[in-house]
Amino acid sequence: MPWSKQKALDLIRQLGVVSIVRVSSTEDAPRAVEAIVAGGLNVVEITMTVPNALRVLERVAGQMGDKVLIGGGTVLDPESCRAALLSGAEFIVTPSVNPTVIEMARRYGKVVIPGALTPTEIVLAWQSGADMVKIFPCEPVGGPRYLKALRSPFPHIEFVPTGGVDLKTTPEYIKAGAAAVAVGGELVSSAALREGRLDVITESARCYLEAVRLARETGR
């Protein structure tokens, strides 16, 4: 059963973490998703750089159904956006601002989170219809301090920082005003996948969720 746009947004906000699956193997991707979801983190973005990404999206959506909110990431053009949505993606993430991708996602009634870095790009993303804006790459340009600076002129826009976010900086991003963080290799360890240590990924998912919860509740 498809997720409503509001339900999808509510889950992203509630959990505060989007896990990014960017792996080099078609078979590793579903295994990574299962491990992440086992840790209670059921918002997963599968990037279009994964081999046979559309087939992976179809497989995960078919096997896990409404147990996971599955998204398509690194979407560069409207054709790829439509293909990802038809393959089961319930939200779309881009690395840059492409208004035609935003328009396509909105046409299908799905959440779209375009990537932006500068104030000008953020405004363009928002005016084009973004539901949230991914700040990418956030860590190299100042991390939580940069995000906090952006919050002053844009208090009405929900930010999802990514690019170098790890377990140590996650609470700092939440305290700086992030609606959620997006985490890739720091959560989905390629070494753990290679060694069959899916429990490592499951525990990592739990740790990120707990870090967000503590930062929101206690400011730590």
Whole-angstrom distance between the N-terminal and C-terminal Cα of the chain?
37
Q: Cis before residue 137, ω within 30 degrees of 0? A: yes
Catalytic positions are: 45, 134
Q: Is 212 left (phi over 0), alpha (psi -120 to 50) or beta?
A: alpha
Q: Give the span between the Cα atoms of 79 and 15, in whole angstroms.
A: 30
Q: Find the angle CA(26)-CA(113)-CA(86) to the nearest 5 degrees.
A: 50
CB count within 10 Å of CB 217 equals 8
* β-strands 69-73, 133-135 pairing: unpaired
Q: Give the span between the Cα atoms of 109 and 104, in whole angstroms.
A: 9
* CB of 8 closer than 8 Å to CB of 111: yes
Burial (CB count within 10 angstroms: exposed 0-12, middle 13-18, buried 19+), residue 98: buried
